[in-house]
A and B are shown apart, each in its own frame.
Chain A
Amino acid sequence: MEHFLEQVLNGFQLGLMYALIALGYTMVYGVVQLINFAHGDVFMVGAFLGYFGFAVWGLPLPLAILLAMASCALLGVVIERIAYRPLRYAPKIAALISAIGVSLFLEYFSSLKFVFGPNYRVVPRPFPEIQWKIAGLTVTNIQVIVFVVVLIMLILLQILIYRTKTGMAMRTVAVDHNAARLMGVNVDTTISITFAIGSAFAALGGVLYAIAYPQIHPFMGIMPGLKAFTAAVLGGIGIIPGAVLGALIMGQVETLTSAYISSQMRDAIAFAILILVLLFRPTGLLGRTETEKV
């Protein structure tokens, strides 16, 4: 039983990692209805900037995180301005292809020697890992930090979207661009803000990921990005709490699969779930079935 709980805790940690990425993914989708495939790569850029901040330039960790978040927010806005805005009223598939292009560009541009370089880098822990034994379970300070951050992100996003003017503008834009514009909402600015916030969260996720799994490289965003996307779809893409729910389920499925079925089946089962959800419940677990967004 203890062993099972330990595995559930492992799955919980993995799920929280996916949630870090899935939150930004799903928020951008919710407002713009665009699957931003470059999200996982912004996450990578964030991890690198955080690493440079605290490990190379010697900044204190909070400052390094802020720097990574601010830079990625800017990166997100620039990506949207250059690659998505000109295609906003083109068929959805065009923006999707553009997003894949941005994703590949960020990966290979980062691989260049004068940018981040193609090599694996070991990230030194900015603070020591502390383990606590609670009722036979091992809990680490990193798990606690990630948990708290995900919780804060979730609450902040809910407040932002349902309690602020910007959030109201976002929700209006999500429903109808033209109607929103007629109501005096600045659509461009609202979408830019959405990308800025989503990308800043991706950067925060990247830095925490690099601290939890201390190794970074320019292609590190692909797998977590895909898994987070699966999680967002599982929970109902565009729905903020759904991303966290989906991510936690993904984490459990993967961990329990490799613990009790076979470590070789892990990714196969994780993505089989994506297919099953799309077949039987295309709007996701928390999605309302009557709204057809895509």
Chain B
Amino acid sequence: MPRKVWTALIVALLSMTLIITGCGNQGNTSSGEKVIKVGFIAPLTGDVKTFGESAQKGFDLALEQAGYKAGDFKIEPVKADDRNDATEAVNVATKLITQDGVKAIVGSLTSLTTIPISKFANDNKVVLITGTATSPKVTVDDGKRKEYVFRACFIDPTQGTVAAKFALEELKLKTAAILYDQGNDYTIGLANNFKEAFTAGGGKILAMEAYAKNDTDFSAVLTNIAEKNPDILYLPDYYQKVSLIGKQARGKGIKAVFIGGDGWDSTDLDYKTMEGGYFTNHYSAQDPRPEVQNWVKQYKEKYGQEPDAFATLTYDATRLLLNAIETANSDDPAKIKEALQKTKDFSIVSGEKVSFDENGNPIKPVTILKIEGGKQKYVTAIKPN
């Protein structure tokens, strides 16, 4: 066959594929039942995979309890793994939006990956709600709100501020040193806001040192910090890094109380090293509120373990989204977005009567947990001002 015919055939075949996939994206199956595709992005492998696995459990349970339905719509989940890598996150978000045709995404998990995909989702007018990405930049870009982006957690300033407030007022500690990852918006955000609030409250920051993601040797800065003898060592990074730093800090004779953020919340945290430390979190399974106790019970029945904050917040985020789809009763992302923004007095596990502020952030108290006897212990919940 001459080459021209082949080319024509291939072009014809390709355009047919396009038409077919195009039809699939309309959201109507042949039976007439309305379907809405909801994407889910989380790091299911990589350095924070235990977070991602928990998040997936929360997402699954929320959909299961809703019977994979919201209003007249059948929910079809499409899952993707971003390995906690910003580039990979944009790749999978592109695939979900352009190939799978999702109308809304739950995810991703860390600010590192959620900031780039939130911009991408917003530009493509797809609703994105993250359970756990705490950086302010997720919903706001250069002072401009990304209208399609929401979250179910508080933001970094809140965590840093509450940690500083707790250290000054409850622990009565006056001096602190901070170590943070200079390439990660999450730890930078917590570190800066802790510093600001701690100084404003009359405390003194003795040292603020940066490191890079792949560093393993912290002896130089820790030797400097040991000499200044601070009351607090603020470590706002993820569990594997703070475990490593904590071990070396104790090795250098640093006696300070370790304080951190929600990145500590993992079964892989080195509990022996971090003993006596405190961290801010979104939720505690020991919180006596009935919503919390119910959720813990259901989760335990299904998975045989206690839900962590990542499972809880992703569950909350998914429920907020399903509620908005139901209220809007539409698969138009613009309408879902409006319904989400108007959410009022909707009770979720990590907070009562939640509504969103003008930046898509919920307003609710921050939980403080202590590492004691190799376990997490609920201490208190503090309202940010």
A residues near B, CB below 8 A? 3, 6-7, 10-11, 13-14, 17, 111, 113, 117-120, 122, 129, 131, 138, 140, 213-215, 217, 219-220, 222-223, 254-256, 258-259, 262-264, 266-267
Are B220 and A119 touching (Cβ within 8 A)? no
Are A138 and B46 touching (Cβ within 8 A)? no
Task: List 18 additional contacts besides A122-B268, A129-B251, A259-B220; criterion CB under 8 Å.
Answer: A3-B224, A3-B227, A6-B223, A11-B220, A17-B217, A111-B45, A119-B46, A119-B47, A119-B49, A120-B47, A120-B240, A122-B243, A215-B243, A215-B244, A222-B214, A263-B211, A263-B220, A267-B212
Are A10 and B210 touching (Cβ within 8 A)? no
| Proximity string of chain B (225-258) to chain A, C-beta cutoff 8 Å, 1 when within and 0 when not | 0010000000000001001100100011100000
Counted as pairs of residues, one from A and one from B, with CB atoms less than 8 Å apart, the total is 78
- Residue B216 at the chain A interface, CB threshold 8 Å: yes
Are A118 and B45 touching (Cβ within 8 A)? yes
- Residue B17 at the chain A interface, CB threshold 8 Å: no
- Given the interface pairs A138-B252, A215-B244, the reply to whether A258 lies near B221 with Cβ below 8 Å is yes
* Minimum CB–CB distance for A202 against chain B, Å: 17
A102 to B96, CA, bound (A): 32
Residues of B close to A138: CB separation below 8 A: 252-253
User: Which of chain A's residues has its CB closest to B239's CB?
Assistant: A120
Residues of B close to A14: CB separation below 8 A: 217, 219
A111 to B81, CA, bound (A): 14
A93 to B101, CA, bound (A): 44
A14 to B270, CA, bound (A): 23
* Minimum CB–CB distance for B110 against chain A, Å: 14
Residues of B close to A120: CB separation below 8 A: 47, 240, 268
Residues of B close to A220: CB separation below 8 A: 214, 216
B residues near A, CB below 8 A? 45-47, 49, 83, 182, 209-212, 214-217, 219-221, 223-224, 227, 240, 243-244, 247, 251-253, 268, 270
User: Which of chain B's residues has its CB closest to A142's CB?
Assistant: B251
Residues of B close to A267: CB separation below 8 A: 212
User: Which of chain A's residues has its CB closest to B208's CB?
Assistant: A263
Contact of A217 among B47, B219, B270 (CB under 8 A): B47
* Minimum CB–CB distance for B264 against chain A, Å: 14
Q: Which 8 A-B residue pairs are closest in the complex by CB-CB distance?
A: A10-B219, A213-B216, A258-B220, A259-B220, A255-B220, A263-B209, A120-B240, A118-B45
* Minimum CB–CB distance for B251 against chain A, Å: 7
User: Which of chain B's residues has its CB closest to A117's CB?
Assistant: B45
Are A118 and B251 touching (Cβ within 8 A)? no
User: Which of chain B's residues has its CB closest to A14's CB?
Assistant: B217
* Minimum CB–CB distance for B263 against chain A, Å: 13
Are B211 and A213 touching (Cβ within 8 A)? no
User: Which of chain A's residues has its CB closest to B244's CB?
Assistant: A215
Are A131 and B251 touching (Cβ within 8 A)? yes
Residues of A close to B211: CB separation below 8 A: 263
Contact of B244 among A13, A17, A213, A255 (CB under 8 A): A213
Residues of A close to B224: CB separation below 8 A: 3, 7, 259
Residues of A close to B219: CB separation below 8 A: 10, 13-14, 255
* Minimum CB–CB distance for A200 against chain B, Å: 23
Are B182 and A264 touching (Cβ within 8 A)? yes
Residues of B close to A214: CB separation below 8 A: 244, 247
A120 to B269, CA, bound (A): 11
Residues of B close to A256: CB separation below 8 A: 220
Residues of B close to A3: CB separation below 8 A: 223-224, 227
A6 to B253, CA, bound (A): 13
A3 to B223, CA, bound (A): 8
A256 to B244, CA, bound (A): 21
- Given the interface pairs A213-B217, A263-B221, the reply to whether A118 lies near B46 with Cβ below 8 Å is yes
- Given the interface pairs A118-B83, A131-B251, A138-B253, the reply to whether A113 lies near B220 with Cβ below 8 Å is no
Residues of A close to B214: CB separation below 8 A: 219-220, 222-223
